[in-house]
Amino acid sequence: MNLFNTFIMKAVSHLPKWFATPFAKPYVAGETTQEALKNVSKLNQKGFRATLDILGEHVLSSNFAKNITNQYCNLYKQISDEKLNCTISVKPSHIGLNISYSEALQNLKLISQRAKDLNNFLRIDMENSLLTDQTFKLLNECKSITKNIGVAVQAYLFRSLNDVNTLADSEFNARICKGIYKENSSVAFNDRLDIKNNFMLIAKSLVAKGSFAGYATHDQELIDELINWIQTEKIPKERFEFQTLFGVPMDGRLEELINEGYAVRIYVPFGPDWFDYSIRRLKENPDIAKYVMKNFFKNG
């Protein structure tokens, strides 16, 4: 399977878009804002919260970064107009962090101001570990604009527990995820059990600090462990929510969580950059290749 994964990883970026469509289609909420908002509306009707993310990252054009910034600002207005239960998630490199810190800060301040004006929330996504310090710095600077802002924390990074212990307080809001970027073993756990244990340690630290947490995982064993801990410690349901990616099958578990009174938020990516997004995810994690082929033969 490793040789097969490697072959697919190298070949897929040279193949036409139709090859990636069976892989991407279930997990991307369309190419346009209208498609994405329709999907959010459907999720809301089923009791789910949502967060929208325009696909793209590592932008090197100031004009393009500004255009994406404007799209996010307009998206807040559309969410407000349609009265959707939906926030926004932004990757710093999508709005200029690979150009300069000041570029990203200027654009993120505009988005933060729009979030404040429309009484909505802004999540700053975490990318590879080379951008972690700058991402936390962006968070702290934009807190002067709005308190309705949070960040993502990656459980596979060695540093993350210390970051939470240092930064978290009653106004801190973190999305805990395992982490998807390929990182060196000098900075990240590789063992799944180690990552899961660190996820739980971060979750417990956030509670101790009085922070809000989004538990972003599709690992049902981890969800079981979280619920057992939540129930044992009697953690108030308003202090956390469960989060998953759009389109990932969970065998009815998410509906069960909602029926049990837990909040569940779906992360909804969309946009014309779906193909590049899919290829990057594949290159960062070659194991995804088997899912590409599974969906290809299932849906093709």
Residues annotated as catalytic are: 125, 175
Residues sharing a CB contact under 8 Å with residue 66, sequence separation 6 or more, in sequence order:
107
Q: Are 92 and 127 in contact (CB under 8 A)?
A: yes
Distance CA 97, CA 63 (A): 13
* DSSP three-state, residue 84: coil
Question: Is 96 in contact with 104 (CB distance < 8 Å)?
Answer: yes
Cα–Cα distance for residue pair 8/286, rounded to 1 Å:
8
CA dihedral (54, 253, 178, 115) positive or negative: positive
Nearest in space to 144 (alpha carbons), one of 176, 116, 165, 124: 116
Range list of H helices, the chain? 2-12, 17-24, 33-45, 62-81, 101-117, 132-142, 160-167, 192-208, 220-233, 253-259, 274-284, 289-299
d(C-alpha 285, C-alpha 21), whole Å: 18
Q: Establish how many alpha carbons lie within 13 A of residue 278's alpha carbon, considering only the half-sphere containing its beta carbon.
A: 27
Is the distance from CB of 157 to CB of 117 less than 8 angstroms?
Answer: no
CB 90 within 8 A of CB 48: no
